Structure 1
Amino acid sequence: MDFIMSKLIFFVAILYWASYYAYARQISVTCSWGEPTTTRIDPFACFIRIPFKLTPNDTLTFNSEIDPSELTIINFWLPSASRYQWDITFIPKGIFERFSHLKSFTLPGHVESISHDDFMHAVNLERLSFGNQLKVIPGNVFDRVAKLEVLDLSWNKIASIHENSFKGLSNLRTLKLHRNQLQKFKLRTFENVPLLEELLLNNNHIETVEDGILKLPKLKHLDLSYNKLTELSNLIFKDCRKLEYLDLRSNHITSIKRSVYNLNSLQLLNLDNNRISDIYLRAIVRLPSLEYISMENNGASLNDNIFVSESMSGSSKSAIKSLLLSGNNLKNRELLVRLWSLGLTHLEKLHIDNNSFEYIDFYPIYAFPKLKEINLGKNYWKCEWLEETLKKLEADGIELNLFSSRFPSSTSFKHINFIPCI
C-alpha cells in the first residue's frame, strides 16, 4: 500500500511540474535606473533584477517610465546572494522586438542553447554579453545582428563552434571566447569577421591553431594564454600584420620559429610559463614596434643558449624598453654585453631575478643610458662582487628590486643590503 501511495505521489508531482512549466505566465519586471552597484545613472539604460525562476513559457512585461523605443541598454542583474541567480534558462521572448532600438544586452544565467530565432529582431544590437552555460554555437545564429561590434561569449562551456557561427557579423571588432572548453577550430571559423581587432581565446584547452585560421588582417590584440599549445607553425600569424599585443603565456611551447618574426606592428609579447628552448632572439628584438617582451618562468629550458648565435657588433637597434627574464636558467656573466650586442640601448627595465647568476660584468652598464630599474634578487651572488655592484648601481640612480635569494639548504650566506650572497 505504501508503495502504491508513493508511486501515486510521484506521478502527481510530475503532473504538477509539467502543468507548471506548460502554463504561460505574464511576469512583470521593473527597469531600475542606475547600476545596482554604483551610483551611475544612464537615462537610456535599464537594469533588471530577477528574484524568481523563469521558464521558457514565461513572458516578461517591462515597467519603466521611459519609452521602449528610446531604451538602448538592458542588463539583467543577478546578485550573487540570490539563490536564483542561475535560473534564467532562455532569452526572454520578444525582448528585441519590444525594444527595437536596443544596442547593448547583458544576460548572465543558465542558458544552455541559443537559436537563430532568439536574435531575429536584434537588428540594432551593437554589444552582446552572454555568460551562461552554452556548449555549442550553431551556424547562422547571429546573421541578423549585422551591427554587432562586441560579442562576449566568455564564461560558458563552449566546446564546438560551427564554421558559420559568426556569419553576418561583418562589423564585429571584439570577440571574447575566454573561459570556455575550446580545443580546436575549423579552418573557416573566423572568415566572416574581417574587421575583428580583439580576439580573446585564453583559458581554454586549445592544443593547436592551424595555418590559415587567423586570417584577420585588422587584428591588434590576440590572447592565447592558459591553453595547451605546444608549438607555433611558421605561418600561424601570416595574416595578422597589424597585431600589437600577443599573449602566449602558460602554454607548453618549446620553440618560437618564424611565427612572430615578421610582426612589425607588435608592441607587447608575453611568453611566460612555457618551455621555450629555441628562440631567435635577435629577430624578435629587432621588431620595430616591440617595446615589451617577457619570457619569465621557462625554467631550465631557457638558458644562455638563446644568446649563442648573437654577434658582438652592437650595431642593430631595438625599441625594447622592458625585458623580463626571471625564473630561468641564465648564468652567463656577459649578459649585459649580450644585450648590448642585440642593440637594446633603449632598455628601461630588466628583470633577471630567480636565475643562476653568481656575478655579472657590469662595466657595459653605461651602454644603457635609459636603464631605470633592475631586479637582481633570487640568484647566487658572490658577496664581494655584490657589495661593490650595489653601491655602483645606487650611485647611478638605478632602482633596485631586491627580493630574497634562493639557496640550497646547505649553503651558508650573509646579507648585503638585504640580498643574500655567498
Structure 2
Amino acid sequence: MSSLLTSVLVLLLVILEGLKTTGASCDCSALTCRCEGLSLTSIPQNLPTSITSLHVEYNNLTSLHMQDFLRYRNLSSLFLPDNRLFTIGSRAFYHLTNLTSIDLRWNKLTCLQTDTFVGLGSLRALNIDYNDIKSIEEGTFRECPRLVHLLLGSNRLASISPGSFTGLNQLELLDLFSNQITYIQPDTFSNLPQLKHLYLYQNGITHIHPDTFSHVSQLQLLSLFSNKIAEIQSGTFTDLPKLEELDLDFNHITNIQAGAFSNLPRLEYLGLGHNQMEILPLTICHELSSVPTLILNNNPWQCDCRIVSLNLHTQICGSCSPEIVNQITCTNPGGFQGQKLRDINVTVLNCTELGRPNSATGQQGHCPYSYVFNLLLSVILMET
C-alpha cells in the first residue's frame, strides 16, 4: 500500500511540474498573463490568445523561437527579464505585429542578428540592458522604424559601427551606458534625426571627434561622465541648438580648446568636475559665462600667474562670470592649497613654473607687481 501511495505522489509531482511548463500556474486576467518565477523553460502554450501583455520574468528560458508566439498575435507588451536567454532565433517575433515594447533585461544574450527583430513595425521601446552583447550588426534595427527608446546599457560593446542604428528615424532615447566603448566613429549618430537623449557614461571613451554630434540637432541631453576623455577639441560640442545638459564629470580632461562649446544657446548644465584641469582658458570662460549651472569642482587647479588673467577679467571687467571663478579651489602651489582663487591676492601668486623673477628680490616665487600691472593694462585695453 505504501509503495502504491509513493507512486501516486510521484505521479502527482510529475503532473504538477508539467502544468508549470504549460502555463497552468500563470495568473491571467482578460488581457494580461503573469508567469513570473515558475521555473519555466519555454513560453506557455495554453494561455488565452486574446492577451495583450505577457510577463515571463524570473524563469529559466534559454532561447526564443517563432513558434513560441504564434498563439499570441495580439500582444502589445512582452516582459522577459531575468531569464537565461542566450539566443533569439531568426524572426522570433515575426508574428507580433502589434508589439510596442519588449523587455529583455538581465539575460545572457551575446549577439543580435539582422533578422532578430523582423516584423516589429509597431515597436516603440526595446530594453536589452544587462546582457553580454559584444557587437551590433549593421541594419539590426532596420525593421523597427517606429522605435523611440532603445536601451543597450551594461553590455560588452567595444565599438559601434555607423550603420548600427540605420532606419531609426524616430528614435529619441539611446542608452549605451556601462559598455566597453573606447572610440565613436564620426557618423555613428548621423542617421538619428530625432535623437534627444544620449547616454554614453561609464565607458572607456578616450577621444571624441569634432564631427561626432554635428548632425544630431535635436539633442537635449548628452551624458559622458566616467570616461577617459583627455581633451575637448574645437567644435566637439558646437551648433547643438537644443542641448540643455552636458555631463563630462569624472573624465581625464586636461585641455579644452577654444570653440569647444560654441553656439549652445539652451545649455543649462555643464559638468566638468573631477577632471585634471589645471588652467581654465579665458576663451572657455567667455563661452561658458552664460551657462546657469557649471560644475568645476575637484580639478587640480594651478594657482600661479597663468590663472591671473582669469581672475582679473572677473574682478575688473566682469567679462568672466564670478560663479566660475568662485568654484576654483587651488591645489598648487602648496601654500595656496584649499584656498579659493577669489580670495588670493594676485600680487603674491606663485610664478615659479613660469620662471618669472620677483622684481624686488630678483628671486623666483612671486608674481611681480610690474607683471600684474601689465596684465591689468592689457585687460583694460582689450575691453576698450
Q: TM-score normalised by the shorter chain: which range applies?
A: 0.7 to 0.9
Q: Which residue of 2 aligns with 1:268?
A: 221
Contact 1:285 1:319 in 2 (8 A): no
Amino acid in structure 2 at the alignment position of 1:228: Q
Distance verdict in 2 for CA 1:142–1:333, change over 3 Å: closer
Check the 8 A contact 1:349/1:372 in 2, yes or no: no
Q: Distance in 2 between matches of 1:148 and 1:57?
A: 24
Q: Determine the C-alpha separation between the residues in 1 that align with 2:320 and 2:217.
A: 24
Tell me, yes or no, if structure 1 residue 167 matches structure 2 residue 115.
Answer: no
1:279 and 1:163 map into 2 onto residues whose CA distance is 35
Shift of 1:142: 0.5
Aligned pairs (5 A) from 1:263-302 = 263-299=216-252, 302=253
Which range moves more in the overlay, 381-390 or 181-190? 381-390
Find out whether 1:217 has 2:172 as its counterpart.
Answer: no
- DSSP-derived class of the 1:117 partner: helix
Structure 1 length-normalised TM: 0.68
Could you say which residue in structure 2 is the equivalent of 1:118? 68
State whether residues 290 and 319 of structure 1, in contact with CA within 8 Å, keep that contact through their aligned partners in structure 2: yes
Counterpart contact for 2:238–2:262, Cα < 8 Å: no
Distance across 1 between alignment mates of 2:337 and 2:163? 56
Instruction: Quote the Cα distance in structure 1 between the aligned partners of 2:139 and 2:177.
Output: 22
State the alpha-carbon separation in 2 of the partners of residues 63 and 236 from structure 1.
44
Task: Describe the superposition over 1:171-210 as per-residue Cα deviations: whole angstroms up to 9, x where unpaired.
Answer: 1111111100000122221110011111111101111111
Matches within 5 A, 1:100-119: 100-119=50-69
**Percent sequence identity over aligned pairs:** 23
* Matching residue of 2:301: 357
Q: CA deviation at 1:162?
A: 2.1
1:200 aligns with 2:151: yes
Q: Please, what is the CA RMSD of the aligned residues?
A: 3.3
Please state if 1:247 is matched with 2:199. yes
Structure 2 partner of 1:322: 269
Q: Deviations over 1:268-322 (max 9, x none)?
A: 11111222134335441431011111112222xx212x22x449xx985532211
Please give the secondary structure, in 1, of the residue aligned with 2:314.
helix
Unaligned runs of 5+ in 2: 1-6, 345-384
Q: Distance in 1 between matches of 2:92 and 2:322?
A: 53
**Residues 269/59 of structure 1: CA separation in 2 closer, same or farther (3 Å cut):** closer
1:229 is matched with which residue? 181
Once the two structures are superposed, residues 331-366 of structure 1 have per-residue CA deviations (whole angstroms, 9 ceiling, x without a partner) of 1154xx333432x34312121122111445344385
Q: 1:100 to 1:364 in 2, by over 3 A?
A: same
Note if 1:389 corresponds to 2:342: yes
Cα distance change on mapping 1:373 and 1:153 into 2, 3 Å: farther
Q: Does 1:341 align with 2:292?
A: no
Q: CA deviation at 1:390?
A: 6.7
Q: Distance in 2 between matches of 1:155 and 1:323?
A: 32
How far, CA to CA, are the matches of 1:315 and 1:149 in structure 2? 39
Q: Partner residue of 1:8?
A: none
Q: Structure 2 length as normaliser, TM-score?
A: 0.74
Q: 1:56 to 1:252 in 2, by over 3 A?
A: same
Match of residue 39 from structure 1: none
Distance 2:176 2:229 in 1: 16
- Count of residues in correspondence between the two structures: 324
Say if 1:142 and 1:316 are closer, same or farther in 2 by CA, change over 3 A: closer
Deviation of the 1:240 alpha carbon = 0.6
- Helix, strand or coil at the partner of 1:118: helix
Give the match's secondary structure for 1:222. strand
Offset at residue 384 of structure 1 (A): 9.9
Deviation string for 1:377-399 (max 9, x for gaps)? 684586599467379xxxxxxxx
Decide whether aligned partners of structure 1 residues 265 and 364 sit closer, same or farther in structure 2, where only a CA change above 3 A counts. Answer: farther
CA–CA separation in structure 2 for the residues paired with 1:373 and 1:128: 52
Contact 1:315 1:341 in 2 (8 A): no
Indicate if the aligned counterparts of 2:52 and 2:77 stay in contact, CA closer than 8 A.
no
Query: Structure 1 residue 184 and structure 2 residue 135: aligned?
Result: yes
Q: Does the 8 Å contact 1:55/1:88 carry over to 2?
A: no
Displacement of 1:94 in angstroms is 2.0
Matched, 1:238 2:190: yes
| Equivalent residues of 1:354, 1:378 under 8 A apart | no
Give unmatched runs, 5+ long, in structure 1. 1-15, 28-52, 79-84, 392-422
- Cα distance change on mapping 1:384 and 1:58 into 2, 3 Å: closer
Q: Helix, strand or coil: the match of 1:199?
A: strand
Question: Residue 242 and residue 374 in structure 1: after superposition, are their counterparts in 2 closer, same or farther (change >3 A)?
Answer: farther
What displacement does 1:145 show? 0.7
Equivalents in 2 of 1:183, 1:21: separation in Å?
44
Give the match's secondary structure for 1:60.
coil
Matched residue of 2:283: which SS?
helix
Pick the structure with more strand per residue. Answer: 1
Measure the CA separation in 2 of the matches of 1:101 and 1:373: 60
Higher helix share: 2
